[in-house]
Amino acid sequence: MTKVLAVSDQVVERIYVLASSGHFQDVDLILGCGDLPYTYLEYLITVLNVPLYYVPGNHDPVYHPRVPLARAEGGLNLDLKTDSFNGLLLAGLGGSIRYRPDGVNQYTQPEAFMRAYSLMTRLFCNQIRYGRRVDVLITHSPPFGIHDEDSTAHQGLKALNFLIRVARPRFLFHGHTHFYRNNLEDAVTRIGQTTVMNIFPYKVVELDEGVE
Ligand SMILES: [Zn+2]
Ordered DSSP codes for 115-165: HHHHHHHHHHHHHHHHSSS-SEEEESSPBTTSS--SSGGGPPBHHHHHHHH
Residue 184 in this model has a pLDDT that exceeds 70? no
Instruction: Tell me the pLDDT of the chain averaged across its residues.
Output: 92
Identify which has the larger pLDDT, 22 or 99. 99
Span from the CA of 36 to the centroid of ligand 1 (angstroms): 9
Span from the CA of 22 to the centroid of ligand 1 (angstroms): 29
- What proportion of the chain, given as a percentage, has pLDDT over 90? 76
Span from the CA of 8 to the centroid of ligand 1 (angstroms): 9
Per-residue pLDDT band for 149 (boundaries 50, 70, 90) equals confident
pLDDT score of 171? 98
Residue 15 in this model has a pLDDT that exceeds 70? yes
Span from the CA of 35 to the centroid of ligand 1 (angstroms): 6
Span from the CA of 141 to the centroid of ligand 1 (angstroms): 7
